[in-house]
Structure 1
Amino acid sequence: MEILLAAATGFEIQPTIDYLRNRTRDNRFVSVTPLITGVGPLATCYALTRGIDSAGPGLVIQAGIAGCLTGKKPGEVLAVSEEVLADVGVWEGQRFQSLFDMKLADPNAPPFSGGRLVNPHSGLLALTGLEPVRGMTVNEITTDPTRIEWHQQNTFAVVESMEGGSLHYVCLQAGVPFLQLRAVSNAVGVRDKTKWNIPLAIARLNEELIVLLEKLENGLPINGIKTI
């Protein structure tokens, strides 16, 4: 099975790229193609669409670091089971109005379900062995305390990224199974990098990513998908 391994930046998955280059090749291992999409929703949508059209993967895995809205510690790795597009709309006063709130889009028109982009592949999510959480995707990293509080009380997202929603949207539209792994690097808020731990987040992310790839190498069946 061909796996497309996507990340916004190369450094986020470099340990896994090194692992893939150095691994012992055999006939059982699935083929893994790294794809560096660039940062942000637009770059990610474009790169993923081209990558899927070109490679025809049986699975897309997106891996990266993320900010957290719920107090989880740096280094915790999570599987994002659903995404909310958190800034596609308008802020009016202290409240955010989404396209769905403004009746500009149907919250249940595919690929959306209740305004969310839900990963339907429960077998894949279970295979990770990670806690499934909701993510929110933004074009502008959230730092304002009022907006953070609003998101905590209304989106119920655990992690924030700039690419997760694009993965869910493109793969749901293309009918390709997918997974999103996120390692917490910092709390969402004022960008005080003295409180961040990007090296730990990257190390733990790649540990879990390599474990997942080894599971797939062993040919575990996932919702009818055969990996060998």
Structure 2
Amino acid sequence: MLKYYRTPAAFAEAELIEKRSRFIAAVMPVRSEAEALEFLRTRRELYPDARHHVYAYLVETEDGVFSRYSDDGEPQGTGGMPVFDVLRKRELTNAAVVVTRYFGGTLLGAAGLVRAYSGSASAAADNAGEAEMYYCRRLDVTVNYGDSGKVRSRLESLAAGDNDRSLRFELEPPEYTHEVRFRIWTPAGDIERLKANIIDLTASRAVFAEGEFAYRAL
């Protein structure tokens, strides 16, 4: 299981015109090889009359590492590998790229194809941005109303990086009942440090409950 990986922050597209050939690149974060292949299928359905749908993906899960790229009829090495290199050089994982090409009537040559495919894929990746995903555990912190203000202030200060930016976590909006519950997502290795901050503030009155694991963008 990956403790950390970088991935596209969101779906994004970019378009490049080269000698009347149209290159439409799309980038998507994915969580499995099945999602990557489904993304490819939807792009093919969206542009059914296009000549080529060059693609690449890299997925790492608890079941292993899955990667594939295809020139989809372009000369060997001019499409799939250049697109895959965009993911590799940016160190992006759990990501899929599809570049759809409409032929413009003029041959681009091997070098021209490499530039067009890598350039359009890179532009789409720029538009998507990047997210840093951490394998986190949920920590629920329940406090009384008297302690809630200072706990919230400390957590918001830590989340903003005002004290120790090495302590990474996501803070959800508090839940107010007869007590106040803060829900926090943090890498498992940081839980004890977070607890120590809160125990100190509340004189050990806070109640902690650890929950499920999930990837979160921190």
Tell me the TM-score normalized by structure 2: 0.27
Which of 1 and 2 has higher RCO (CA within 8 Å, sep 6+)? Answer: 1
Give 1 or 2 for the bigger CA radius of gyration: 2
Tell me the TM-score normalized by structure 1: 0.26
* Higher share of residues assigned strand: 2
